[in-house]
Amino acid sequence: MAVTKVVMPKLSEQMESGKIIKWLKKEGDRVQSGDILAEVETDKADVEMEAFGSGVLRKIVVPQGEKAPVGTLIGVIADENEDINALVSQAGGPAPATAAAKPATADRPAASAAKPAMADRPAAVPPQPKSEDHAARQPAPSRGPDSPGGARVQEAAAQQPAPGTPQPVPSGADGGRVKASPLARKIAAQSGVDLKLIHGSGPGGRIVRRDVEAAATSPAATAAPAAAPALRPVAPSVTGPEYEDVALSAMRATIAKRMPLSKAPVPHFYVTSEVAMDRAWELREELNGLEGQPKISVNDLIIRACALTLLHHPGVNASFQGESIRVYHRVHMGIAVALEEGLITPVLRDVHAKSLVQIAVEARDLAERARQRKLRAQELSGATFSISNLGMFDVRDFSAIINPPEGAILAVGSVRTVPVVTDQGLGVGRRMALTLSCDHRVMDGAMGARFLQDVKRLLEAPLRLLV
Amino acid sequence: MAVMTYREALNLALREEMRRDPDVFVIGEEVGLYEGAYKVTQGLLKEFGPKRIVDTPIAESGFTGVGIGAAMVGLRPVVEMMTFNFALLALDQIVNSAAKLNYMSGGQYNVPIVIRGPGGPAHQLAAQHSQSMEVYFYHVPGLKVVRPSTPMDAKGLLKSAIRDDNPVIFIESETLYNVKGEVSEDPDFVIPLGEAAVRREGTDVTVIAYMGMMYRAMEAAEELAKDGISVEIVDPRTLQPLDTETIIGSVRKTHRAVVVEAGAGFAGMGSEIAAEITEEAFDDLDAPVARVTGAQAPMPYARNLERLKTPTKEKIADAIRQVCYANGSR
């Protein structure tokens, strides 16, 4: 009786497909609910996938090394003598005729994790109110967790979320009025997507959020800049092909998709300040000279300074919510970590309540696990403010793009030894530039400047970072 | 903190408020010698005596009127309805006197009365004893209406209701009297009227539900979590005044809402909340607000029919999937 469909889980908000790195159980193995079934590579991290039902892993549908869209059947757990042929053949077979009627669930968390009990029910086939003509032109984005039969069709759809050259057929197809959810309209307006050019996957062809988000990365529907292919060192040569197109890694694709959704709709402004780091530098050297103490980095000092300052400047620790501004009373700090294939921003939670040492230990742990791609999904979301530090690359200063829905991000340059004017004349000092990118909908220049001034004060008189 | 039943929490609230304020008294059928039809007033007669724990004849309009009169001259009556369905007999007293005297006397009188007792569907109590009575009262300007879902809320909100200077309708539930939970033993602990509670945090959909429906919504949320749907549950606790700020804030985050109520849907609490959401958070909605309500029919006695009439975990889960576009869409 108990059949558990194992489907590709949705492990992050942006995840649309995942790759099976490794099956940790083989066909025929006994599986208990909660056992680790496989390792899955997502756009952000490698994540262990749990079984949500018990029985025998009867069938592996998607083998090691292959990708599958979120919600697709990738395996079957069932009792030994359970007949699973129908289920398995359905997964590999052609999409049922009802596929077009099923809404895509590309960005819906529903299309996630193995589904016990409810998954056994036959997929409901809802009435299709659209004209046949319209239904036929729909891109059939069948990806409902209830319709594993659509798996193969879905894969194609996943690689091409919106058709490259969409027919300019108005959604809804009733006299040109576009049917879209209010939220979809709002996001479309913010990201410059033309609703007339996209198809709705909701009931009656309604355009919903996921449709707009998919279209936002499609060049046909927006003027969003195409993602630059990753740079590769190429030996100087005058022969051979002139260029190559490098496939986007999952992470780069996510960045390419997310950043225009920030830079375009969020009105950024920037405030830069220079901080005298002499005392902070000395303090850090002194701390790191102590035996048995974890090493403190300049970034740890900045994290601590920002966390303390944000408590006094809640307006900067805030998020634009359309009709209101959400001011956070706790500080969850996103810390940008550069990786080979892109960057990732793990979140240090409740950092305002953490000591410098705690920050140092936890930030290092997060960064290390980010590099090993061992972060848990919940460690990648929920930041209220972020810091991006390019100090190690001898960068004087730079400005960062806000990671919505946060209201600000701090870009940190290198600590440089420079000539400075002192009371005694010309001297040598350590200076560091901080640039705060602010969402003008949330705060104004003076607010950002005051925050930065207080961060600067803390760093220039750094003993307060220790208490 | 102590673990106690919802019934014991109500009893403790009454006891503490009666000790704190000699003007507080309890009046109703069987509240004294019999210690309450549902034993909420257990031990009170013994502690406070027959002047403050008053047994009455079976005459709701009469003893409610006595309570209102006492409130007008400065006492703080707590009127017990054996079940809230019987408050229909006192509707004129409640609607035309308790709710309106402050307005009609130009503020010369206020009516600090609490009318409390169990309401809503329970187990096979049939058509006349299974009604979601709150709908008859929250429509009336001048009445506050409380529906506490947990022992902690039962205590904290009843104390606030007794301390309130205006009439409060406080509707409990037969099905919750034996529910156990943590309750503050601090006699100064109160929960302000008009504040909702987020019972479960989630990111994909907001479910607004109270009393037994809140517990069913929690079960549905547990089940849907396995499918990766993250459900936030908001319990309004007080229906009038309604904490729209918490509800709207949650919907702005999740972009979808499902309202659950045990009673019939037409012009019910779900309609009101759906309207508020549409007015305040229209641009944040990714799907129409869904309602899961009781059927538009008297409550049948037969167990199978009772189940058909009432929102179940399955019906709530279906509605959640629907607004998340995670199911066959209609």
- The string of pLDDT tens digits covering residues B263-304 is 999 999 999 999 999 999 998 999 999 999 999 999 999 999
**Contact at 8 Å (CB) between A216 and A191?**
yes
Q: Tell me, what's the pLDDT at B138?
A: 97
- Mean confidence (pLDDT) of chain B: 95
Contacts of B284 in chain A (CB under 8 A): 182-183, 186, 322
Cβ A144–B321 below 8 Å, yes or no?
no
- Both tokens assigned to A422: 């002192």
Q: How far is A255 from chain B (nearest CA, A)?
A: 22
pTM of the model: 0.51
List the 152-211 stretch of A: residues with Cβ below 8 A of B.
Answer: 181-186, 201-203, 208-210
Contacts of B328 in chain A (CB under 8 A): 101-102, 123-126, 144, 146
Task: Count Cβ atoms within 10 A of the Cβ of residue B47 and give its class: 0-12 exposed, 13-18 middle, 19 or more buried.
Answer: exposed
Q: Tell me, what's the pLDDT at A240?
A: 64
Query: Domain B197-323 belongs to what topology?
Result: Rossmann fold (3.40.50)
Give the residue with greater pLDDT, A216 vs B153.
B153
Q: Tell me, what's the pLDDT at A422?
A: 82
Say if A212 is an interface residue toward chain B (CB within 8 Å). no
- Three-state DSSP class for B258? strand
Range in A75-84, B55-64, B163-172, B216-225 the model is least confident about: A75-84
User: What domains lie within chain A, and their CATH numbers?
Assistant: 3-159 (2.40.50.100), 161-226+246-265 (4.10.320.10), 266-466 (3.30.559.10)
**Residue pairs spanning A and B at CB distance below 8 A:** 101
Q: Tell me, what's the pLDDT at A384?
A: 94
Element (H or E) spanning B194, and its range?
none
Range in A136-150, A387-401, B230-244, B305-319 the model is least confident about: A136-150
In this structure, the dihedral spanned by the alpha carbons of residues A451, A325, B284 and B245, taken in order and rounded to 10 degrees, is 150
CATH (one of 3.90.180.10, 2.60.120.590, 3.10.20.880, 3.40.50.970) for B2-183: 3.40.50.970
Element (H or E) spanning B204, and its range?
none
Tell me, rounded to whole angstroms, the distance of Cα B87 from its chain centroid.
15
Residue range(s) occupied by CATH 3.40.50.920 in chain B = 197-323
List the 28-67 stretch of A: residues with Cβ below 8 A of B.
Answer: 52
User: How many beta carbons lie within 10 A of that of residue B226, not counting itself?
Assistant: 18
Q: Tell me, what's the pLDDT at A142?
A: 41
Which of the residues B16, B60, B80, B134 is marked catalytic?
A: B60
Find the largest Cα–Cα distance for chain A.
89
Range in A36-40, B97-101, B157-161, B314-318 the model is least confident about: A36-40
Residue range(s) occupied by CATH 3.40.50.970 in chain B = 2-183
Q: Give me the tens of pLDDT residue by residue for chain A, a chain 467 residues long.
A: 467 788 887 776 667 788 888 898 888 888 887 788 888 887 777 777 878 778 889 889 888 888 888 878 888 888 888 788 777 776 654 433 333 333 444 444 443 444 444 434 443 334 444 444 444 444 444 444 444 433 333 333 334 434 333 333 444 444 567 889 999 988 888 777 788 888 888 888 899 998 888 887 665 554 433 344 444 444 555 666 677 777 777 778 888 888 888 888 889 999 999 999 999 999 999 999 988 888 999 999 999 999 999 999 999 999 998 888 899 999 999 999 988 878 889 999 999 999 999 999 999 999 998 888 888 877 888 899 999 999 988 899 999 999 988 999 999 999 999 999 888 889 899 999 999 999 999 999 999 999 999 999 999 999 999 88
- Both tokens assigned to A459: 């760093």
Cβ B326–A144 below 8 Å, yes or no?
yes
Amino acid, res. A385 = F
Give the residue with greater pLDDT, A121 vs B148.
B148
Contacts of A144 in chain B (CB under 8 A): 326-328
**Contact at 8 Å (CB) between B146 and B193?**
yes
Model confidence over B178-220: pLDDT tens digits? 999 999 999 999 999 999 999 999 999 999 999 999 999 999 9
pLDDT at B329 over 90: no
Q: Is the dihedral of CA A216, A217, A219, A223 positive or negative?
A: positive
Residue A311 sits at the vertex; the CA angle it makes with B232 and A299, to the nearest 5 degrees, is: 100
Q: How far is A373 from chain B (nearest CA, A)?
A: 22
Cβ B281–A185 below 8 Å, yes or no?
no
pLDDT at B100 over 90: yes
Question: Nearest CB to A146: which of B284, B287, B327?
Answer: B327
Identify the CA nearest to A255 among candidates A230, A232, A231.
Answer: A230
Q: How far is A266 from chain B (nearest CA, A)?
A: 17
**Contact at 8 Å (CB) between B192 and A73?**
no
Which of A181, A190, A384 would you mutate first to test chain B, the one with the most B CBs within 10 A? Answer: A181
Q: Tell me, what's the pLDDT at A123?
A: 39
Question: Nearest CB to B228: which of A10, A183, A202?
Answer: A10
Identify the CA nearest to B250 among candidates B261, B259, B241, B263.
Answer: B259
Is B201 catalytic? The answer is no
Give exposure, B16-41, as e/b (b: 16+ Cβ within 10 Å).
bbbeeeebbbbbbbbbbeebbbbebb
Sequence-distant (6+) residues with CB within 8 A of B224 are: A110, B231, B317, B320, B321
- Taking chain A, what is the end-to-end CA distance rounded to the nearest angstrom? 61
**Contact at 8 Å (CB) between A451 and A387?**
no
Sequence-distant (6+) residues with CB within 8 A of A220 are: A162, A163, A164, A165, A166, A197
- Three-state DSSP class for A256? helix
Q: Is the dihedral of CA A416, A420, A422, A426 positive or negative?
A: positive
List the 26-85 stretch of B: residues with Cβ below 8 A of A.
Answer: none
Contacts of B281 in chain A (CB under 8 A): 323
Q: How far is B325 from chain A (nearest CA, A)?
A: 7
β-pairing, A408-422 vs A385-389, is parallel
Give exposure, A420-438, as e/b (b: 16+ Cβ within 10 Å).
eeeeeeeeeebbbbbbbbb
Cβ B229–A125 below 8 Å, yes or no?
no
Say if B326 is an interface residue toward chain A (CB within 8 Å). yes
Contacts of A190 in chain B (CB under 8 A): none
Cβ B330–A126 below 8 Å, yes or no?
yes
pLDDT above 90: percentage of residues in chain B = 96
Indicate the pLDDT class of residue B226, thresholds 50, 70 and 90: very high
Cβ B325–A52 below 8 Å, yes or no?
no
